[in-house]
Amino acid sequence: MKILITGASGFLGRHLVRELLVDNHEIIVIGRSKLNLQSIFYDLACVFETDYSLESLQNLTKDVDIIIHLASKLLSRDSHNLMISDFFTNIQILENILIAAESNKVKKVIQTSSISTYNSSVDHITENMSLAPSNIYGLSKLFNDIYADYVSEKSNLKVINLRLARLFGYGEREGLVFSNYIKLAKEKKTLEIHGDGSSTIEYVYVLDVVDAIKKSIIYNNSGTFNIGTGKLLSIKNIAEAVNKVFDNIGNIRFVESNRNSIQGTLMSSEKAEKILDWKPTWDLETALKDILKYS
């Protein structure tokens, strides 16, 4: 198949391109900097620069079978918790992609959404729950999911929304829990845990997400699916597992903290398992051993 990918230079995108090339798909990657994409993918994929305007996307999506839309502005510390305009670019780009895809008779668009579309105070989440996003970024992603559903109902274009738990894996950006702990463990330094380490979050390994996207490519319909593990990991669990795999056992220090522990939201991925024939296969220790191979 001829597959166009936005956001391919990102953490998930790099893994996805590699795996799709193994399956002998023809890959087109697009982004705002052609030089940056060429430095990452060399001649492994066709590379094009775009400003994500409708005109540009209409030209780039001709004769494309599948679009995988990963590009997105993320939540940052500077994001105003009430200002949706900070994320208008996410909404505009999706609109342009869907309109270009429909006009060029693209078979399907797969877009990545987020666990942030859900209410963070709910313990167990399914796709048919009423939604109350946990932050302004989640609100923008929810709008995109609803808009994508609308387009798929009003046209012949099939659209799949994949609501992802927090990702981890080799190549993720610095400053996150896994990347920070792995860096310290590799250097045989002490991993610090603020509080008792009982705060939890749902993580999913990046290669499990790649597999969910691959299953979505062959699924012949539209839909919204949670992609997670159905398990919560505590900060203490993560630190101990990292130290075990990276041979830094016991090198943990607990730091007093006035913050209360936070219990993460758990997504049910039963719908994806039933309809997409997908389920996570990487447990924490096995995933860390995979990361170790590249570290």
pLDDT tens digit sequence for 164-222: 999 999 999 998 999 999 999 999 999 999 999 999 999 999 999 999 999 999 999 99
Rounded Cα distance between 192 and 275, Å, is 41
What percentage of residues in the chain have a pLDDT greater than 90? Answer: 80
222, part of any domain: yes
Rounded Cα distance between 204 and 164, Å, is 8
A 10 A CB-CB count for 18 gives 15
Longest dimension (CA), the chain: 58
57, part of any domain: yes
| pLDDT given for residue 131 in this prediction | 79
Q: Which two tokens stand for residue 38?
A: 């060429």
Burial category of 109 from C-beta neighbours within 10 Å (exposed 0-12, middle 13-18, buried 19 and up)? buried
Which H/E stretch holds residue 227? strand 223-227
Number of structural domains (the chain) is 1
- 88-105 pLDDT, tens digit per residue, is 899 999 999 999 999 999
What does pTM read for this prediction? 0.94
| pLDDT given for residue 77 in this prediction | 66
Q: How confident is the model at residue 75 (pLDDT cuts 50, 70, 90)?
A: low
| Of residues 91, 95, 69, the one with CA closest to residue 12 | 69
33, part of any domain: yes
Tell me the residue range of the domain where 73 lies.
2-168+204-228+267-280
240, part of any domain: no
Q: Which residues contact 75 (CB under 8 A, 6 or more apart)?
A: 116, 135, 136, 137
Give the CATH number of the domain where residue 33 resides: 3.40.50.720
295, part of any domain: no
Rounded Cα distance between 278 and 85, Å, is 35
